[in-house]
Structure 1
Amino acid sequence: MKYYLALSLLITAGMAWADAPSPAKSGYEFVKEETRAMQDDEFQNPGFIAVEEGRGLFNSQPASGKSCGSCHGDDGAKLEAKNLARYPIYDKELGGIVRLDDRINVCREKQSGEKPFPAYSKELLALETFVRHLAIGEPVNVQTDGEMADLLKKGEDLYKIRFGLIDMSCAHCHDSYPGQFIRGQKISQGQGNGFPAYRLDTGEMANLDLRIKQCLVLMRAEPFAPDAEESKLLGAYIMSRSNGLKIETPALRY
């Protein structure tokens, strides 16, 4: 499905939407107290397994002999949390929005001469989790002006489109009904500051893009391809809504 072809057909003229919730609240505030306690404890939080797996991959030398640590220091010592908190970013050279997992694969191919990891693979999710965790506690700071302004507007339009047989949008749940219950769980504001996160429902790590696709499946809609324009636009808009919230990776979510 192409964003620019489907948009005019799927947005109902004059439809009134709830404003984005203010203030922005992390999904941490919508999970149970025992889940928050588990997230806060590195020994209980299963997401830290991915952190350690990612650390190993970051420091390991591939056949080319050039590891991530060769450029960025052992355990990412040379990476700046403020820069990591800006992802996804606009990269003119790469032609648009670049997510953190995109950057990892670009570096892997160009710097190490290795094949990119498949989307949502255990290895790529572990590396993304480790790198994002390096910025834990740093406020999300996605660019909202300049080249990103128009792209985020397109992402917002996608956020308000009704999808699938359920005929619902992201905005229906996360703007209109946060704090209410569905299947015994509180609906959150759908913020991205905790991702990649460990999903207690599925027992796996999920980055924001994978979580969006899981939601689309629940709405009985066909998920976007990992590299689709829609994936990048929607993910960037959702992450921009989290600006100012502290990074929690690896968060625990349902």
Structure 2
Amino acid sequence: MIQIDPILEAIAAHRTAYDAFQIAPEGEASVLAEEAYRGAGDVLVTTACTTANGALKLLEHLRWWLAEEAAFAEAHQPTYGAAQVRVADLSVLACTCWPVAAVGPDPIFPAIATAETAEAAHSAALSDLDESNDVQMRRANAAADASSAAFEALTAVTPTTRAGLFALAEFYARESEEFEPMCMGGQYLQHLAAALRVGDSAAPISDLLPSKPASNQRLACLIPRTVAQAFISTRAQ
């Protein structure tokens, strides 16, 4: 009998709980929906994958969820941090263990594009802003919130190719030089971006690293909660 990967059930339950929480009416129903949502998240980040397909589905789902809840990351701790750890780990495994075609296009490119579009909209809203005009102020504030959310979502995405890693470094370099023009940080990032530019830019990041023979590679899909919490504590310091 074919065994179904338990992570697929955990993913489905988490998405169902997420959807239910979004539409739950205020009051007790909302509280219960939130409890179910949090419980489903805890199960999701502690459930082991037993197939490569399940691991890919988990990677896709977690990337989506991290982007959706980026603005509320602190409220979802420690689950949010544990999810970031699993995404980082699975992204590396995706490069080393799975064909590039199976993983799909590098997700960092649409994330960068979204952040740039949101920032451009924010800049446009601030142009010739009349602070005494309530409509213009609401539009500017909404654009600022959208830009912040897009940037937070970007920071939750891990590049899966050299080209994506280069694009991310270049994006941060542009941001640094725009907001801190006299700071050396932008020049350092530009140097890093130039160093990351290589001929075979579509290749997986793993090609830059030594790897074990395929027969010795093991799909380690479950990261213990203690490791995730240690990672979160390190980030908080």
TM-score band by shorter chain is under 0.3
Which of the pair is proportionally richer in helix?
A: 2
Which structure has the highest strand share of the two?
Answer: 1
Q: Which one has the largest radius of gyration? A: 2
